[in-house]
């Protein structure tokens, strides 16, 4: 019997580094109850409150573990910028990397049954793999069997290439086990989540646009690059909507910053906020900020459907 079926509608969870609530969307869909949330960013807290009618506490570093309610599942997409390929690749010496120890502090006090964590791919190799060795060793000492998988959302019915490491850590002695999620590669592509009409400001009109591949490419579960502008650097590559989107980023440069560039109905453009919501598996009515802040919130978010996959990987 899957633990998700056994747990559904029964267990409490907490949502650390909550962002705009990707973990919470997943857990509440499964019938779980959120008993505590924490998010340091003021704007993200305001968005979270609008979505869930629940105002998260602030900086987890300033919250005593005794103030956090007892819970069965700890969820945390702990800050990834220090481990990101696009960032400075800092390790545990970076403050954001050290925030793992805030999770550990809560875990050691409350000893929940399960930890669901998410981070970027680079966490596997940063500092020569020492960061992962430290995480595994410290959680093992705290009494947990540590399981993790590098999963690409493109393989799980999300039309975005987004590789993330998902942790499913279970308290020893509970009888819980881990079974890696199997890809299903549903035929859904970027073209299936596009808006009918977009703001003119998303359209790129320049003389240096080059389309290298004409015609209609076969649909593919990956980004299909068909052109570029300028020198074709990051943020200057053009993709076709018959494929998947590139990874949405909280911060990135170039003309196609944060979303990438796509040839849609004969024009090259960036993606809208509503399109990005669909690419992250959020309902279009899920509240985010607008403009650059909204894109940043989505680029930092965790995909709810992928959290569900990680949760369903725990079996008994």
Active site residues: 80
Count of helix runs (H) and strand runs (E) in the chain = 9, 15
Two tokens, residue 244: 């998947």
Q: How would you class 49 by CB atoms within 10 Å of its CB: exposed for 0-12, middle for 13-18, buried for 19 or more?
A: middle
> Which residue bears the tokens 């949405």?
248
Q: How would you class 22 by CB atoms within 10 Å of its CB: exposed for 0-12, middle for 13-18, buried for 19 or more?
A: buried
Q: Greatest CA span in the chain, whole angstroms?
A: 64
d(CA 213, CA 228): 11
Q: Which of 253, 255, 223 is nearest to 239 (CA)?
A: 223
Q: Are 105 and 112 in contact (CB under 8 A)?
A: no
Residue 177's region, left for phi above 0, alpha for psi from -120 to 50, else beta, is beta
Secondary structure class of 8 (helix, strand, coil): coil
Q: How many CB atoms lie within 10 A of CB 96?
A: 17
Helix axes 304-312, 22-29, angle to 10 degrees: 50
The helix (H) or strand (E) run that includes residue 50 is: helix 42-52
Q: How many CB atoms lie within 10 A of CB 147?
A: 19
């Amino acid at each position: 019997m899957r633990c998700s079926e056994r747990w559904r509608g029964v267990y409490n969870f907490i949502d650390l580094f909550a962002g705009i609530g990707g973990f919470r969307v997943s857990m509440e869909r499964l019938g779980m109850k959120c008993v505590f949330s924490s998010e340091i960013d003021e704007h993200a807290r305001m968005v979270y409150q609008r979505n869930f009618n629940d105002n998260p506490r602030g900086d987890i570093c300033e919250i005593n573990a005794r103030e956090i309610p007892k819970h069965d599942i700890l969820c945390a997409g702990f800050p990834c910028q220090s481990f990101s390929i696009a960032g400075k690749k800092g390790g545990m010496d970076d403050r954001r990397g050290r925030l793992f120890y805030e999770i550990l502090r809560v875990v050691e006090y409350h000893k929940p049954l399960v930890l669901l964590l998410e981070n970027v791919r680079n966490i596997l190799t940063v500092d020569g793999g020492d960061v992962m060795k430290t995480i595994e060793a410290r959680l093992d000492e705290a009494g947990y069997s540590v399981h993790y998988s590098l999963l690409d959302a493109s393989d799980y019915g999300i039309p975005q290439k987004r590789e993330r490491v998902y942790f499913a850590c279970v308290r020893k002695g509970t009888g819980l086990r881990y079974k890696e999620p199997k890809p299903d590669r549903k035929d859904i592509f970027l073209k299936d989540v596009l808006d009918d009409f977009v703001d003119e400001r998303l359209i790129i009109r320049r003389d240096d646009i080059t389309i290298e591949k004409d015609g209609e490419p076969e649909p593919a579960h990956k980004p299909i690059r068909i052109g570029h502008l300028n020198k074709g650097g990051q943020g200057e590559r053009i993709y076709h909507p018959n494929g998947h989107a590139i990874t949405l980023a909280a911060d990135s440069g170039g003309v196609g910053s944060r979303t990438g560039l796509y040839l849609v109905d004969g024009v090259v453009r960036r993606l809208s906020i509503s399109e990005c919501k669909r690419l992250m598996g959020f309902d279009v009515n899920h509240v985010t900020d607008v403009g650059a802040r909204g894109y940043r919130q989505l680029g930092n978010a965790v995909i709810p459907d992928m959290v569900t996959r990680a949760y369903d990987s725990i079996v008994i």
